């Protein structure tokens, strides 16, 4: 059982044999992918407030200093992103920021909102109006909170980080692995295409890394909802000076991820934080969301690579580079998937564990998101161009 999981209603049993098998994996045990993918996005840091104070994170600001974007600011960011050919609006903010930030709570109340989640919903609707598909990362989410915004998101995500209790999750309100696992479980029950991942180098052991990957696999096996798993190294910044994991560590844990996870789940590394060129042969097939417009507000010292740099990474591995949407093709209805799709469709074979008919169709995208994908406007044409695999130079 992973740390604290049962307390949050998540029953996950990690088999010792599976852990031992995974710990024996090396990069020689995996194959390189057939292609690399990435998404073109804009980063929308809705608020820099967070109830947590993790020692490696520069994203959060102290109470009294934290900011909250207005919907007008959100619209400007999204408009610029759409003009630059982006397809994704990546919404980030700290966990329950209105929980301990009185100024943030007061501002939300002034704008007619009783929580950050109803405000996020309005922000996602602005993104859709500007021609971007929302992908929100709102941290720990109850089922009710997740349901508030799920239908206006093409996909969502939260980093598991680790199933271990580590000192880097400092302070009186430290992150609890069980809460993160519950969020991933909630997403599965609500048919949300989901991104998660592990953070490498924050004090976790090798066994912790193996257990974290196996916990993700266990939840995916129940709900068939994980689209990608990020293998992200911690990096030095103004709050963290203990260094990043060694290259050999990253190569080994990336290979472990590829072996642990089903084929339909992409293994992603962020190219501004990880040595992507040296990890592709360990099973990496996705380079994440990269923005031509905005900074990486979580890691502002580490610039996004330009498209030509992504192409150089792909060229170094002799692989094609393809753009994708923030929701993977396997979660789209069959009539929206391109004819060339040859992956594993998310066809509703999971779901029996939460009382539903496992053979019933699951609604992975809402009518709102489907309407955006089908729209006969500039955004809809942009989405379809990505799905049809138009060359990057023609967009």
Which residues are part of a known binding site?
Answer: 50, 54, 57
Q: What is the enclosing helix (H) or strand (E) of 75?
A: helix 71-83
Q: What angle do helix axes 177-189 and 206-223 make, rounded to 10 degrees?
A: 20
Q: Which residues of 127-136 are buried (b: 16+ CB within 10 A; e: fewer)?
A: bbebbbbbbb
Q: Among positive and negative, which fits the CA dihedral 203, 178, 136, 229?
A: positive
Classified as helix, coil or strand, 7 is helix
CA-CA distance, 373 to 382, in Å (whole number)?
A: 9
Q: Where are the beta strands (DSSP E) in the chain?
A: 36-47, 88-93, 133-137, 155-157, 194-200, 226-233, 266-268, 286-290, 321-324
C-alpha–C-alpha distance, residues 139 and 52, integer Å? 10
Alpha helices in 87-176 (DSSP H): 102-110, 116-129, 143-149
Question: What is the token pair recorded at 61?
Answer: 């600001």
Q: Name every residue whose Cβ is closer than 8 Å to that of residue 37 and which is 6 or more positions away in sequence.
A: 266, 285, 286, 287, 321, 322, 323, 324
- What are the start-end ranges of the H helices in 140-289? 143-149, 177-189, 206-223, 247-260
Instruction: Report strand pairing: 36-47 vs 88-93.
Output: parallel
Q: Tokens representing 369? A: 């998101």
CA angle (391, 266, 3) in 5-degree steps: 155
Binding site per annotation, positions for [4Fe-4S] cluster: 50, 54, 57
CB atoms within 10 A of CB 390: 13
List the Cα angle 326/332/334 in 5-degree steps.
Answer: 155
User: Is there a contact between 168 and 55 (Cβ–Cβ < 8 Å)?
Assistant: yes
Residue with tokens 């004819």: 339
Query: How many Cα atoms occupy the beta-carbon half-sphere of 149 within 13 Å?
Result: 31
């Amino acid at each position: 059982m992973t740390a604290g999981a049962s307390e949050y209603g998540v029953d996950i049993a990690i088999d010792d044999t599976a852990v031992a098998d995974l710990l024996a994996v090396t990069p020689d045990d995996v194959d390189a992918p057939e292609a690399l993918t990435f998404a073109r996005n804009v980063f929308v840091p809705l608020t820099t407030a967070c109830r947590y104070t993790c020692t490696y994170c520069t994203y959060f600001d102290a109470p009294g200093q934290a900011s909250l974007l207005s919907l007008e600011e959100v619209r400007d960011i999204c408009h610029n992103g759409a003009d630059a050919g982006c397809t994704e609006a990546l919404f980030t903010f700290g966990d329950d920021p209105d929980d301990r930030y009185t100024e943030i709570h007061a501002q939300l109340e002034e704008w007619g909102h009783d929580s950050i989640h109803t405000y996020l919903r309005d922000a996602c609707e602005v993104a859709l109006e500007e021609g971007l598909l929302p992908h929100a990362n709102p941290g720990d989410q109850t089922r009710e909170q997740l349901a508030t915004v799920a239908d206006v998101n093409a996909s969502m995500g939260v980093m598991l980080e680790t199933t271990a209790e580590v000192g880097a999750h400092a302070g009186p309100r430290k992150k609890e692995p069980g809460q993160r696992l519950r969020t991933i479980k909630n997403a599965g029950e609500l048919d949300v295409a989901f991104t998660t991942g592990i953070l490498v180098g924050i004090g976790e052991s090798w066994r912790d890394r193996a257990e974290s990957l196996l916990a993700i696999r266990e939840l995916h096996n129940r709900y068939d909802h994980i689209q990608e798993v990020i293998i992200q190294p911690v990096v030095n910044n103004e709050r963290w000076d203990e260094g990043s994991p060694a290259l050999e560590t990253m190569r080994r844990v990336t290979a472990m991820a590829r072996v642990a996870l089903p084929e339909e789940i992409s293994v992603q590394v962020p190219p501004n934080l990880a040595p992507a060129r040296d990890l592709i042969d360990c099973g990496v097939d996705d380079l994440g969301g990269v923005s031509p417009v905005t900074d990486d507000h979580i890691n502002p010292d580490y610039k996004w690579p330009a498209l030509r740099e992504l192409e150089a990474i792909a060229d170094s591995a002799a692989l094609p580079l393809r753009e994708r949407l923030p929701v993977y093709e396997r979660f789209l209805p069959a009539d929206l998937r391109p004819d060339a799709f040859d992956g594993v469709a998310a066809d509703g074979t999971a779901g029996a564990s939460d009382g539903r008919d496992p053979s019933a169709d699951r609604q992975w995208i809402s009518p709102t998101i489907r309407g955006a994908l089908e729209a006969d406007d500039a955004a809809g044409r942009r989405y379809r161009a990505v799905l049809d695999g138009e060359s990057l130079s023609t967009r």
